[in-house]
Amino acid sequence: MRPLRAAAIASMLWLLSLTSAGQPPIVPSRTELTPGVFLFTTPGYGDVGLDGNSIAVLSRDGVLVFDTNGTPRASAAVLAEIRKLTPQPVRWIVNSHWHWDHWYGTETYQQAFPDVRIVSHEKNRQLMMGPALEFNRPGLEKGLPGYLETLEKRAAADASLKPLLAEDRFFLEQKTRVRHTFPNVTFSDRLTIEMGERHIEVLNYGRGVTPGDAIVYLPAEKLLLVGDLIVNPITFALSGFPTEWLRVLERIDALDTTTIVTGHGAPLRDKALLRTTMEVFRVLLREGKAAKERGLTPDQAKDAIMPGLRDLMLQLTGDDEAKNGAFRTQLVDWYLHRVYDELNGPLTDAIAAIPPA
Ligand SMILES: [Zn+2]
């Protein structure tokens, strides 16, 4: 075949592979964590969203998927990869918590496997069915469309921004059209799943990053999937439950594991990042309480406490500027606001707003 013709056919095939909105297919990257258990990571959504990790546990009698990505397009890409690995159906889904990037892709699995059992903590299901959707609404109706308008203007002057604009637009369209697919099995403390040769424990250790986090533990494989209870490298402490969360992490630390998969980022092969994050929590609980007693506001407390956290920060960030910024805002600032909320009275299960920057 002449090279020119081959190129023409290749580009035609690429065009045919485009989705209706003109976006090329996502290719997830795949890591085998232990024989037959795979982590899939998908690229971010333009410059407007990160996707959560999705993990497939294969067995001789079906597949369990832990977290289902943030859009149907991403979960469809992960399911396509699972189908290359096994002819077995997806029998179980576990959604770790209510953040959209961990469950908005569930419809893909329910369409493909109508009998699939979708598991979450009972409090998490309640949040998904109302409060989580309300929490996302301002972003979908105002924040993201407003950002797209400014990006459109910039792209009109700078054509190199057009692919990014198309990606961001497609993300908004996907998120707006998603068919929210809710858990149909709930648990409170523990649910045990025997799937083929796999013994799988779905656990909740109390309130952590959300009121109803689900973790999955495979004791024989020494593998633990923790969702956003820990994020590699910087944990995202919005609306968490400071004291209880530390207790949860202490119980996680006590489990016999060789691999811990966080809600985002590369899997952990040791407990260093877990323990450093726990130490940051301890400092913030202790110093936050002392700062409040001295009459400081949460923002003043942050400025007073940050210098003492520098060594711990560098362990997590390697002094990368963007990661330092995430440490300061998403971990220290947001966690401290919740330390203050907790000291002001018992925390309810309601979703707290993002503290003003
Ligand atoms: Zn997340």
357 residues of the chain, pLDDT tens digit each:
344 444 444 444 433 344 445 677 789 999 999 999 999 999 888 888 899 999 999 999 999 999 999 999 999 999 999 999 999 999 999 999 999 999 999 999 999 999 999 999 999 999 999 999 999 999 999 999 999 999 999 999 999 999 999 999 989 998 889 999 999 999 999 999 999 999 999 999 999 999 999 999 999 999 999 999 999 999 999 999 999 999 999 999 999 999 999 999 999 999 999 999 999 999 999 999 999 999 999 999 999 999 999 999 999 999 999 999 999 999 999 999 999 999 999 999 999 999 987
Compute the distance from residue 69 Cα to the ligand 1 centre, in Å: 9
How far is the C-alpha of 181 from the C-alpha of 153, rounded, in Å?
35
pTM: 0.92
Compute the distance from residue 189 Cα to the ligand 1 centre, in Å: 22
Compute the distance from residue 215 Cα to the ligand 1 centre, in Å: 14
Compute the distance from residue 63 Cα to the ligand 1 centre, in Å: 22
CA-based nearest residue to 113, from 49, 214, 168, 181 = 181
Compute the distance from residue 128 Cα to the ligand 1 centre, in Å: 14
Compute the distance from residue 52 Cα to the ligand 1 centre, in Å: 5
- Burial of residue 161 (CB within 10 Å: 0-12, 13-18, 19+) is middle
Compute the distance from residue 248 Cα to the ligand 1 centre, in Å: 18
Compute the distance from residue 122 Cα to the ligand 1 centre, in Å: 19
**DSSP of 202-253, one letter per residue?**
EE--S-SSSTT--EEEETTTTEEEEETTS-SSS---TT--HHHHHHHHHHHH
Compute the distance from residue 34 Cα to the ligand 1 centre, in Å: 23
Model pLDDT, residue 75: 97
**DSSP of 261-305, one letter per residue?**
EESSSSPBSSSHHHHHHHHHHHHHHHHHHHHHHTT--HHHHHHHH
Compute the distance from residue 345 Cα to the ligand 1 centre, in Å: 27
Compute the distance from residue 101 Cα to the ligand 1 centre, in Å: 6
Compute the distance from residue 160 Cα to the ligand 1 centre, in Å: 29
Looking up tokens 């485009």, which residue turns up?
A: 18
- DSSP annotation of 45 reads B
Compute the distance from residue 209 Cα to the ligand 1 centre, in Å: 10
